[in-house]
Amino acid sequence: MIQAAFQTADFTAESVEDNDTHVLQPLLDRCEDYHQIAYGRPALPDQARNIPRERPPTLAPGQGHLFALRDAQGGLAGMLEALRDFPAPEEWYIGLLLLAPEARGHGRGEAVLNAYEGYVRANGGRLLRVAVVEHNEVARRFWTRVGFQPEQWVGPIEQGLRWNRVLKMTKTLSPA
């Protein structure tokens, strides 16, 4: 039986090992809207396998983690990729929170984030970070609505076929 890392009313977060990231490829393929905004193209055929390789080279084993968000039937409804104690101790960086188009809305993203915040606090995290692509207005509104504060614009950074500015945002977590 697979152990759940955290849960919401709609989803169970299961840890995905670095050598099993291919299980996320169907989700990335379904989320073409996100890939067009961020990269100017659909997901690459090996996009999921590249997730561990795209992490900063200075990370220690176990600092990067990846979760498949499963619905009640066990279907892949989303994913969350993050870095623990990065860029500093007690700071966690969310690389990607992505829900399948059919799973979006109804407060599900916020529910996932709330459950994940509990997981982060329970594991020593005190601050969350995220970077949002300038052209992703929906994402920027989401992160602002759930309490993230703008920190600074960086870039442009080459991402796929695009050069993007990104807004770094932070959220201080209340003690557990």
CATH of the domain at 146: 3.40.630.30
What's the confidence (pLDDT) of residue 1?
47
Sign of CA dihedral 11, 33, 131, 54: positive
Number of domains in the chain: 1
What's the confidence (pLDDT) of residue 2?
59
| Residue 139 backbone dihedrals phi, psi, to 5 degrees | -65, -45
- CA 167 – CA 102 distance, rounded (Å): 27
Q: Tell me the DSSP string of 71-119.
A: -TTS-EEEEEEEETT-SSTTEEEEEEEEE-GGG-STTHHHHHHHHHHHH
Cβ(64)–Cβ(56) under 8 Å?
Answer: no
Residue 104 makes CB contacts below 8 A (sequence gap 6+) with none
Regarding pTM above 0.85, the answer is: yes
170 C-beta neighbours (distance < 10 Å), count = 17
What's the confidence (pLDDT) of residue 176?
64
129 C-beta neighbours (distance < 10 Å), count = 20
What's the confidence (pLDDT) of residue 104?
92
What's the confidence (pLDDT) of residue 16?
95
Residues of the chain scoring pLDDT < 70: 1-3, 176
- CA 140 – CA 138 distance, rounded (Å): 6
Range of the domain at 73: 4-172
Query: Which tokens go with 70?
Result: 């499963």
* Of 56, 38, 171, nearest in space to 116 by CA: 171
